[in-house]
Structure 1
Amino acid sequence: MSAMVASNSSDTRAGLSLALPALMLFTGVVVIPLAMTVMLSFHDWGQYKGIEPVFILKNWIEIFDDPYYAEMFWRTFRVALLATLITAVFGVPEAYILNRMQGPWKGLFLLVIIGPLLISVVARTLGWALLFGGNNGLANKLLMTLGLINSPVRFMFTETGMVIALAHAMMPFMVLAVWTALQRLDPQIENAALSLGANSLTVVRRIVLPQIMPGVLSGAIIVFSLSASAFATPAIIGGRRLKVAATLAYDEFLNTLNWPLGAAVAVLLLIALVLIVVGSNALIERRYQEMFR
């Protein structure tokens, strides 16, 4: 008995010693900067006096009292939610088709799907800016040629343009999350349903979707979190007037130099995303429990 206790104690010490470097790195690059940012959000700032290390709630009161900040956060989450919905609508069928492919075609189309991740987000967004252009942009010309619109649509410096660019940038995360869930799906179940008289739509709706829903929810969490905290795409496509939380924090830090207010905006965005992710994870776990009950 004592030998087993000693062995377990030795294994625990070995595990802690192996995890210590990673824990120190995590503490140094994540925990400490976050703690400093939270502390900074409670400091005071003045145009002539700079940052004063005093504990006040002025920055938080300003954020919650001013409707400007409420609109900013509402726009942030609205754009992120729309981008998430678009990636789900187009990404789930893409993942399903990719999973049904065979041979070299699967590898080729997988490379096409993850291609945006191999390009800088700034380069991708500038590419969308060139496509959107103005009234004579390539996107408007193509839509008018196809007869989908009668007059040019404004994409630059609009939420529509931000949603499209973000959905394109985040699509690989949704596809890969759903594709991973599809790997655990036995194709013989679909064949059995078809042999029993179910049509393809019924198989997808009653068999495939319920089993890949955890993957869809996982992809939605990733896409929503990255879209809500994105900076480059909203800054380029949205411009300076159509701000989101990330660009607002950037302006407060580097333009107005009001670091405490920028820190409060960043901390509030982080808290909101953590609450959303935790709630979504609880939903996913409950879904798993219902599936395997």
Structure 2
Amino acid sequence: MAEYKTLKINQRTPNSSVFYLYLNRPSQFNALSREFFDEFPIALKSLDQNPNVNAIVLAGAGNHFCSGIDINLLASFKQSSDRGRSGEKLRREIKHMQSAVTALEECRKPVIVSIHGACIGGGIDIITACDIRYCTDDAVFSVKEVDVGLTADLGTLQRLPAIVGYGNAVELALTARKFSGSEAKGLGLVSRVFGSKDDLDDFVAHIAEEIAAKSPLAVTGTKAVLLKSKDLSLDQGLDYVATWNSSMLLSDDLKEATSAFFQKRKPVFSKL
């Protein structure tokens, strides 16, 4: 398995098809460095292309999920005497960082994010691009960018309104206020909240294993259709899924699921 400076990948249980991807700069509270934005899409692509991976759990090493973009990275953005070329270079840098976060959606495999401690700024960008979100009750969230003189630019302003509603997203983004895990649950940002990190870890492991045991074609198809349907009308979305299933439905997975049901056993699916 590849070695990364800012990430760690492991397989907690031998022969499991659930793999864990950790933000791995615990001494910096998993602040997002330049290396992170280079490494993150590479790591996700390696998991996506690995036939032994059916589900991915994203988590933070140490006491926090993510404290946002590393201040050293922000300080490195400098303007030269040519304002136009400085702007063009900065735009490329921002697009590069955006694509690293969007890699979560582009990954075919479902990504479940497990959030504890701080989830600030760029951490919000990351979790809003994940498929399922869970957290501890004492997790602390903040769309922090306006407090450091920035407009959030890595996906929060585009994804958060669809998750928590436009009005809630505006309030959170303009005030940059902190909010708790229980409020995140009330807003719909996370699906469940847990009283301890151990409880969170146990539940996430259970859910990830459940998803990983399902038909890989059905799971990846469900993720793809849900993401695509956000940008389509109802009629267009129905047409899209009809086309998708006309290609994918008549698979060995369907035969296996049907046989397992009648034989009262757990289905066993081929790798993707």
* TM-score, normalised via structure 1 length: 0.23
Larger radius of gyration: 1
Between structures 1 and 2, the one with greater strand share: 2
Indicate the structure whose relative CO is greater, using CA pairs within 8 Å and at least 6 residues apart.
1
Q: TM-score, normalised by structure 2?
A: 0.24
